[in-house]
Amino acid sequence: MADPVLVVHGGAWAIPDDMVEAHLNGVRNAMAAGWRVLESGGTALDAVEEAVVIMEDDETFDAGRGSFLNRDGKVQLDAFIMDGATLRGGGVGCVERIANPIRAARKILGDSPHVYFVAEGAERFATEHGIPLCRNEDLIIPREIERLREFQARAADAKVDLFAPTISHDTVGAVALDTEGSIAAATSTGGTLNKAPGGWRLVTDRMWMLRGQPDRRRVDHRLGRADHEACVGQVGADRVATGSLPEWVAAEAINYLKDRVNGHGGMILLDARGRFGIAHNTRAWLGRLRPHSMRVTGSSEEVISVSR
């Protein structure tokens, strides 16, 4: 029987000072929800889903209600979940009427032969499987209307990088190891501020897993952009599979991302022994981890809040 581990993150970007506490509270709440699942003997898959749902419901984050708006002033959401025990995954992209896209992603993982649904097809799948739809207006908040207005006003006068670390991205996610030794990961995002409608690949948040021998399973949950970061994620996961410490691999991978393509973002790595690695090259990354050896209340629970 394995000792459970849960790592939750609330994004890697230049989080404004007046939003840091809200982010910390959000990841604390997400951690509490996920850990309740693991502590009661639940699966890693259930734990990461519940953790992400909490952050989708919290308008602090770029996931679910309160997400960044696209160029047309709408919320478009993406989510993905993966089960390391089966290597099954499920995801949705460009959905505008699902408040908790991670729920739809989980349904796809469990109930569909397909892996990914987008836009209207994803929303149709959701309704057919008991997930209610909402109005897009229900996902939009005044803070993001004003943020988009200010961004577009600046962009009219000068070329602005959609992927600048001061702008993007506040994707959320979680990785977990349960008592059966299985690993799962989940992620959810509203993407980049002012992205083109349908531009779900403008900001990618990818997960890589392998299941071979029990000690070779690992997960990489990485925030980044474009396919260069996808390669970095794969390399990181492969390195952990050979026995390298996740802590070292994560730092090395993010350094390579910066040196090779001037990329920014964060990475969390977890292997089947419960060893984890966390690295980022943005001004702030907010997350929380709870190994079994740390009791679940009070200051003994480690909080990660790194600023540069």
Q: Please count the CA atoms within 13 angstroms of the CA of 1 that sit on its side-chain side.
A: 6
Q: Check residue 219 and give its pLDDT.
A: 53
Q: Check residue 41 and give its pLDDT.
A: 94
pLDDT over 90 at 229, yes or no = no
**Per-residue pLDDT tens digits for 75-84:** 999 999 999 8
| Alpha carbons 264 and 163: distance in angstroms, whole number | 9
Distance of CA 212 to the CA centre of its chain: 24
| The amino acid at 120 | E
Catalytic member of 171, 187, 189, 192:
171
Q: Check residue 161 and give its pLDDT.
A: 60
Q: Would you call 282 a catalytic residue per the annotation?
A: no
With a pLDDT cut of 70, the percent of the chain lying above it is 71
**Per-residue pLDDT tens digits for 251-306:** 777 777 777 777 667 777 788 888 877 776 665 555 555 664 333 322 234 444 44
Q: What is the pTM of this model?
A: 0.82
Q: Check residue 200 and give its pLDDT.
A: 57
Closest-CA residue to 74 (of 205, 209, 199):
199
Q: How far is CA 215 from CA 88, 182, 275, in A?
A: 19, 11, 11
Q: Check residue 84 and give its pLDDT.
A: 87
Q: Which residue has the higher pLDDT, 171 or 75?
A: 75
Band of residue 214 on the pLDDT scale cut at 50, 70, 90: very low
**Per-residue pLDDT tens digits for 81-116:** 999 888 899 999 999 999 999 999 999 999 999 999
Q: Is-cis flag, bond preceding 169, omega within 30? A: yes
